Chain A
Amino acid sequence: MSNGKLGKFSKEKILLILKKQGILIFFAILLLSVSLVSDKFLSLRNITLVLRQVSITGVMACGITFILISGNYDLSIGSLLSLTTVIVINLHDKIGPVPAILITLVVGVLIGIINGTLVGYLKLNSMIVTLGMLTVLQAVTLIYTGGTYSAISNPEEAWFRFFGRGYVFGIPTPVIIFGLFVIFFTIILTKTVYGKYLFALGGNRTASLYTGIKENYITFITYIVTGLTTAVAGIMMGSRMMAAQNYIGEGYEFTVLTAVVLGGTSLFGGSGSVIKTLVGVLILGFLSNAFIMLGFPYYVQWIVQWGIIIGAVWMDVASKRGKLWA
């Protein structure tokens, strides 16, 4: 190997690193520049706060990563988060925390079964169907509560607060739950046959059908996984807030989608990873936090999310076709 080749190789390598790790470099620059302006930004207290805040989005994002890799969408998760949070809060005082948690998980699975049947077996367009489910689930939430606010009567005494407000060895419980989800979902995605099928389905549906993958069944299971992760997120949300208004999950479907896409999982299926999603969730969390630290009102981040999602998807599309504009 001559020196010239080596030189060229390393230049290409740098470009490749920039392309592959661009998002991490962006993240590092962001952290540094905001910490220069606000000295509270990188304090342990603030970092813990952000980690705790993103863990709910993060748990949902694990499920959505699976759905996106398989080439489908789920927009109903925001409403499902509202529904599951309201149910766990509402049932907590009535039937006790453990039955309430179990019923919430069952509701998540049931909604997953409905979505999975509609998309997996009836082969309906997942965007539109889950958009319809978004309406249905929000309506079910409102009908369930009659439009009233639900709250747990003794929030300081209930052990249920553990999932959202508690600590294990000084680390907030939601962060630990999120961490376990990331590890568990990474193992499923990279080490199991099911994980391989997900990539195969999203990558090339026709080819994967010839290899004998039961497409319907895999899609069906994946929606149950998403329903379940959203139910877990609902329990965490309920435990953190100890109360729930009917629209508590509104917009989460978009925040989760932004985080996953920002991490680099493709919206067109076939590629992605849970670690990428973790990175996306963290960046979005610190970004939202940075805006508040810099004194902007919370809704400014929506405008930024608009730019981020268009930018991220645009880069994805542009790198596939080799130019920015079609």
Chain B
Amino acid sequence: MKNRILKLIKEQSIWIILIFSLIFFGIMTANFFSFRNFQNILLQTSINGIMAIGMTYVILNGNIDLSIGMIYALCAAVVIGFQSLGIVPSVLIALAVGLIIGAINGIFVAKAEINAFIVTLAAMIGVKGLLFVYTGERAIIGTNLNFTYLASIRIGFMPLPAIIFIVLLIIGEYILRNTSHGRNAYAIGGNQDAAEKAGIDVKKHIIINFMLSGGMAAIAGIIAASRMNTATTTLGRMDHLWVIIAVVLGGTNLNGGYGSLIRTLGGILVIGILNNGLNLMNVHTFYNMLIMGIILILVIYIGKKFEVTKS
């Protein structure tokens, strides 16, 4: 009985953390529980949230993608840089860039069997190089005002970026639960050799998931570019960390095989609320970084503890 309760707490811990952080910031700050602030939180979390969708797929396979922050920054620059071709072509080009880099990552991980951590760490610095070469180290400023209008569209009370995030999340969760690609994602993460022996085309699924991760980073970059109308070389520096922390905090297992997008949503919301609340409390962003780093280490520690007691 005690074990069952412990298990329940462990499995649903993200929602408990969410409730506690809501209560904490509700007490500590005056304007936290306002309609406008929640709208803000949704808008602020949508960019990292979209990236977290792709990351969840990659982590479910037991891999990781450190390059998304830089893919996000590069795609933001590309979508503004190609604006003269029109909005649709520039968006498609940015998407293609994200998918191609994701595919490169996926091919090296799946077909050359190099550790995903190394592949994407290398891609992170390489894509940063591409970003600097493409922008020539300058900020790119957009000229097409229709493009900037996109991110400010509201449907009802919901900003468009938040709607895109939620729609992608629902589709992503549906795929995970109801399609063979989703089931195979869990199988590969659970035991890659067994999945291979069961006839699953492991390599194909891994490559697709890295492409998903790159593609989602591209979408996030396009939205960010639309919101800011500029792309700088300092964009995306820490985003891969935030996203990984959100996914792991949500309870998706870094070794693969266990997790879901609903959990990731929980992680994303907690981080969004934490950032927003600390901001309202006038805590400097330096401390957010500190807290996030410590949370990441704590989550790994707790995960490890639980693993030991289970076996």
A interface residue numbers (CB < 8 A to B): 118, 122-125, 127-129, 131-136, 138-140, 142-143, 147, 251, 254, 257, 267, 297, 299-307, 309-310, 313-314, 317-318, 321, 324-326
Contact = CB atoms under 8 A, between A and B. Distances in A.
Interface of B: 108, 111-115, 117-119, 121-130, 132-133, 136-137, 238, 241, 244, 254, 284, 286-287, 289-290, 292-294, 296-297, 300-301, 304
Please give me the 10 A-B residue pairs with the lowest Cβ-Cβ distance, nearest first.
A306-B126, A302-B129, A135-B293, A136-B293, A139-B289, A139-B290, A299-B132, A303-B129, A132-B296, A326-B113
B119 A139 contact: no
A129 B293 CA distance: 9
From B129, B130, B132, name the one whose CB has the most chain A CB atoms within 10 angstroms: B129
Main secondary structure of the interface of A (DSSP, over half): helix
A313 B118 contact: yes
Nearest to A267: B118
Given A302-B129, A305-B125, A310-B108, A127 B114 contact: no
A317 B297 CA distance: 30
Contacts of A251: 125
A318 B114 CA distance: 9
A313 B114 CA distance: 7
A135 B112 contact: no
Contacts of B133: 297, 299-300, 303
A267 B290 contact: no
B128 A310 contact: no
Given A135-B296, A324-B112, A122 B129 contact: no
A305 B137 CA distance: 18
Contact of A129 (B112, B122, B297): B297
B297 A124 contact: yes
Given A303-B129, A303-B133, A314 B114 contact: yes
A122 B305 CA distance: 9
B294 A301 contact: no
Contacts of B293: 132-136, 139
Given A129-B297, A251-B125, A326 B112 contact: yes
Given A139-B287, A297-B137, A306 B300 contact: no
B304 A142 contact: no
A313 B113 CA distance: 10
6 contacts: A129-B300, A132-B297, A143-B290, A299-B129, A309-B118, A313-B118
A147 B129 contact: no
A288 to B, nearest CB: 12
Nearest to A257: B121
Contact of A310 (B122, B292, B301): B122
Contacts of A318: 112
B112 A325 contact: yes
B59 to A, nearest CB: 11
A297 B128 CA distance: 13
A234 to B, nearest CB: 19
Given A267-B115, A306-B125, A314-B108, 11 more contacts: A122-B304, A135-B238, A139-B290, A140-B290, A254-B121, A297-B137, A302-B132, A307-B126, A310-B108, A325-B111, A325-B112
A314 B114 CA distance: 7
A219 to B, nearest CB: 15
A150 to B, nearest CB: 15
Contacts of A306: 122-123, 125-127, 129
Nearest to A127: B117
Contacts of B284: 143
B296 A131 contact: yes
Contacts of A132: 293-294, 296-297, 300
Contacts of B117: 127
Given A142-B286, A299-B137, A306-B123, A314 B300 contact: no
Nearest to A318: B112
Nearest to B132: A299
A124 B125 contact: no
A297 B271 CA distance: 37
Nearest to A261: B118
A293 B108 CA distance: 32
A299 B284 CA distance: 31
A138 B293 CA distance: 10
Contact of A147 (B112, B123, B286, B296): B286
Nearest to B105: A310
Nearest to B297: A132
Given A124-B297, A299-B132, A254 B125 contact: yes
Nearest to B108: A310
A131 B287 CA distance: 17
A281 B152 CA distance: 49
Contacts of A310: 108, 114, 118-119, 122
Contact of A136 (B114, B126, B137, B294): B294
Contacts of B294: 132, 136
B254 A128 contact: yes
B118 to A, nearest CB: 6
Given A129-B300, A136-B294, A254-B121, A317 B129 contact: no
Nearest to B305: A122
